[in-house]
Amino acid sequence: MNIKPIVISLSLLLISVSALADDDCDDPVAGWQPRENLRKQLEAEGWTVFRIKVDDGCYEVKGRDPNGRRVEAEYSPATFELMEIEREDDDDDDDDDDHRGKSRNDSEPTNAERVPRKGIVKGRPSVTVE
């Protein structure tokens, strides 16, 4: 049996998988700009920034975008280029959350209605063991 084509195919597969999996920022640390500069830039665009931390070589920003949606975004620390953004409403199971059919009379819940108070669960939960 000729094993050479199998080895070549396997090594090409491994090389291509590792190239596709690399989504980290590769900027040298010497070229990074301060986090505060990114915070100022985002706040000038209307963002509310909760936190900026380093994750996989990128600046990971958690906050609210100008539309008021909670977002988690990754920026290149040297150029502040947007690498990835994830909005709170980007869940896969958002079939029930389709707001396009809402009428103008339907209002969004207020912040006080969304945020649970100290007692998250009212009453005692019931448990049945079989």
75-99 pLDDT, tens digit each: 999 999 999 999 987 555 444 444 4
Instruction: Give the pLDDT score at 78.
Output: 94
The residue ranking higher by pLDDT, 65 or 108, is 65
d(CA 103, CA 23): 41
* Tokens 């994750």, located at residue: 55
Instruction: Give the pLDDT score at 118.
Output: 58
Does residue 16 register a pLDDT over 70?
Answer: no
12-32 burial string, b = 16+ CB within 10 Å, else e?
A: eeeeeeeeeeeeebebeeeeb
E strand or H helix that includes residue 70: strand 70-75
pTM score, two decimals? 0.53
- In this structure, the number of other CB atoms found within 10 A of the CB of residue 70 comes to 14
Q: What is the pLDDT of residues 33-86, one digit of tens each?
A: 999 999 999 999 999 999 999 999 999 999 999 999 999 999 999 999 999 999
